[in-house]
Structure 1
Amino acid sequence: MLLSLSDVTKTYPEATAPVLRGVSMTLQAGEMLALTGESGSGKSTLLHLVGGLDSATSGVVAIDGTDLTPLDDAGRAALRRGTLGVIFQQFNLIPSLTVAGNIAFQARLAGCHDPDRTERLASRLGLGPHLDKYPEQLSGGQQQRVAIARTLAPQPRLVLADEPTGNLDEATADTVFDLLCELVSETGAALILVTHSQRLAARMPRQLHLASGQLT
């Protein structure tokens, strides 16, 4: 079991009701899951708890048998450098680094930078001719491909993708989605894809829906 959530709740001090209420789920190594739900249903909150970017109010979030709750910031950061990879809707590329530099960034932090792997990922994602360019010189679809390559370069065991195609037109979104799923599958990593697109979610092997803070 790669990921396990047991009776997880999340309440923010300013909120009148819990964002997550007794959420439980499991994810096996290599499994691919789409998480859907209306805006404000708690999808991103759930992903942030799994990614160690936030802490649950109660319950257990465990990755590879390790409970995230007692980990300090350094421990969670170490987890994100190695075991976890996160892809955001907003790309979050470093503007002062080239495409090649951005792709290598996460792997360098994890101490596992492989120039050959960086080059292979760039080629598979159609970024080979753009390695010396900077993010501002790329289209939105190209920037998201760089973000995917950066996340996959350290070969994480679990990839969390938060609306990775939300800022892209439908045709570009389909291309990016296909490449993401193909590359994740090849590495044997597990994937949780948060998406508002029922069309894309339907193409995933497993789907869960979040409504009123609970999974269905």
Structure 2
Amino acid sequence: MELLHATDVSKSFETGEGPLQVLRGVSLSLTAGTSLALTGESGSGKSTLLYLIGGLDVPDAGHIRIAGTDIAGLDDPGRAALRRGTVGVVFQQFNLIPSLDVAANLAFHARLSGRHDAAWTAHLAERLGLSALLSRFPEQLSGGQQQRVAIGRTLAAKSELVLADEPTGNLDEATGDAVMDLLLELVSETGAGLLMVTHSMRLAARLDRQVGLRAGVIA
């Protein structure tokens, strides 16, 4: 089943020197249960495209359909509902809620979407090596532990499409590889589709397909 279909997506941003064209008619697709790496140098438009697909911004032109829904036609609450349910995002900066402990952070998105499954969340905590850390707060965790919580929080909601923006970018190579192992294993276990932005061709090669962006177009 085709989970994601982006067609002729364009996006520009206003700057002091006029509009800056970041994406120029980008098209790509992803089927459920498969993974795609989006590669390219800094400034190529990778994160912009990921954020558009996640409904965090809207394209100037083109269409993005996720599980049959054209997200360009959704208002802000509609796109927020999409992120709570169908689409999950793993950010490079973790974005954990500092006032919540690990257990509450893991369950946060699942509870918002009405998909909280205590047994599944406990399974994720165990697989991610977090079972002994559930009462700790984000500031008490290492970077690798925080990123594992961020991955678990996204997967706890049973999202159909997982978007990951440089998920190992703030980690050393060994820790990043371990986190990557867990992300790929767990996404495969859920049957979700994975779209990951990375500048690392080594990490990109671990996904099913690779697409490169250069100056806002598919290279």
- Taking structure 1 as the reference length, the TM-score comes to 0.98
Question: What is the match of residue 144 of structure 1?
Answer: 147
Amino acid corresponding to residue 181 of structure 1 in structure 2: L
User: Residues of 2 paired with 1:150 and 1:17: CA distance?
Assistant: 34
User: Residues of 1 paired with 2:71 and 2:107: CA distance?
Assistant: 27
Q: Which residue among 181, 184, 196 is the counterpart of 1:181? A: 184
Question: What is the match of residue 104 of structure 2?
Answer: 101
Q: Which residue among 111, 120, 123 is the counterpart of 2:126? A: 123
Amino acid corresponding to residue 7 of structure 1 in structure 2: D
Question: What is the match of residue 55 of structure 2?
Answer: 52
1:76 Cα deviation from its structure 2 partner: 0.3
1:94 Cα deviation from its structure 2 partner: 0.6
User: Residues of 2 paired with 1:176 and 1:163: CA distance?
Assistant: 12
1:8 Cα deviation from its structure 2 partner: 0.8
User: Residues of 1 paired with 2:56 and 2:128: CA distance?
Assistant: 27
Amino acid corresponding to residue 7 of structure 2 in structure 1: S
User: Residues of 2 paired with 1:22 and 1:97: CA distance?
Assistant: 41
Amino acid corresponding to residue 9 of structure 1 in structure 2: S
User: Residues of 2 paired with 1:26 and 1:92: CA distance?
Assistant: 27
1:16 Cα deviation from its structure 2 partner: 4.3
Deviations 1:121-173 (A, max 9, x none): 00000001101111111100000000000000010000000000000000000
Q: How is 1:1-216 mapped onto 2 (pairs within 5 angstroms)?
A: 1-14=2-15, 16-216=19-219
User: Quick one: percent identity of the two aligned structures?
Assistant: 66
1:51 Cα deviation from its structure 2 partner: 0.2
Structure 1 residue ranges (4+ consecutive) displaced by more than 4 angstroms after TM superposition: none
User: Residues of 2 paired with 1:135 and 1:45: CA distance?
Assistant: 27
User: Residues of 1 paired with 2:11 and 2:139: CA distance?
Assistant: 37
Amino acid corresponding to residue 196 of structure 2 in structure 1: L
Task: Identify unmatched segments of 5+ residues in structure 2.
Answer: none
Task: Identify unmatched segments of 5+ residues in structure 1.
Answer: none
User: Residues of 2 paired with 1:118 and 1:26: CA distance?
Assistant: 29
CA RMSD of aligned residues (A): 0.8
- Preserved CA contact (<8 Å) 2:33 2:193: yes
SS in 2 for 1:69: helix
User: Residues of 2 paired with 1:116 and 1:159: CA distance?
Assistant: 21
SS in 2 for 1:133: coil
- Taking structure 2 as the reference length, the TM-score comes to 0.97
User: Residues of 1 paired with 2:57 and 2:101: CA distance?
Assistant: 30
Hey, which of these two has a bigger chunk of strand by percent? 2
SS in 1 for 2:27: strand
Amino acid corresponding to residue 45 of structure 1 in structure 2: T
Amino acid corresponding to residue 9 of structure 2 in structure 1: V
User: Residues of 2 paired with 1:32 and 1:57: CA distance?
Assistant: 26
Amino acid corresponding to residue 5 of structure 2 in structure 1: S
Number of aligned residues: 216
SS in 1 for 2:116: coil
